[in-house]
Chain A
């Protein structure tokens, strides 16, 4: 005999005390409805925030959920380090320090001039009017000359053309803009028009003089030593010479097999 079989069957509907519940389907209690509505409305807020974040820029620092080892306690180039008064993690070279490959023994290659003692006893720079040997060797070899000039053109168009123009005539976009600002009477303009690099003055300049101008600047023009390496400066000098030649060349100077281009 199964357990409980002798007990009276429980009347689930009426129970021991009769009907306890009516059969009308009552509505949900208001609190449940309110919570559901508020929840449904609030659930849109994160979505709206995400939408806003995806379609806008923000000056706030990025949210970084998982740090992992993303930000390590080490210094990368141009990081800041509060240990030093100037906040630089990269330390400027100590005076007199020579980095590897930067011994710069060759005056001609590195400076474009050598110091000679003038008649009054002072040290005067004398510019070399030729290319350093290593550069001249590249120019003499047709196999490397084109590469050198193309490199010069590439560097010229990056660093020089902004002011001097791609043709070297001194009508680059920066000059045009500065000129316009000056004419409009904008405050703080002391613009001096960039030189025409292909005029007779510049043709007469020694190679070393042009090199030195790139290295140390001249008049209005600042130094480009930090942006252009010495070898590239010489490549630019070679390209400036090319521009000067090309813009005064006679049609006969074009090789016979390229004469078609002129027609």
Chain B
């Protein structure tokens, strides 16, 4: 069952032993003396699938760069990359490549929010693809939302709210269990449950979430 989470985990927790294994696999697959004659071909695939391959595949590349020293690689360029860079690659660099073609109405509340978050139509498309990929890989809708909230923070939830056309983001987050009400009546993000979220990975947090939900009798 744990393997079902492998790809998703890769996105969400790059600093993980399994991701190092993926990076090592990339190195062993790429370095050697073999050569072959093979003619390139073309095929039609869904755009969403191509984005999925790109985000996941190049994420492995970012991981390989992060782990370069442990992999026995020493190159000056690799020293410029650290964990933060590898993590932010998923959220910033690759997405910005798709998001540059900003074409949103301006002077609207939505535009100002999206401008603040550097979000445009392509960003939404990528986020939708990610959500679909997570669900295709066996995550429930709630788990997918949780995963995205962990990966993208509350800004990502705003984006999801936009996708689903909800009027009230707070209501949406409450309904999905990503906000809860403190004793003083204020709202707090669900992630506050996970005081150790910086030390453990996505799988562990999902397990914690499931336990909490089961105790509440809500289920996932």
A interacts with B: no
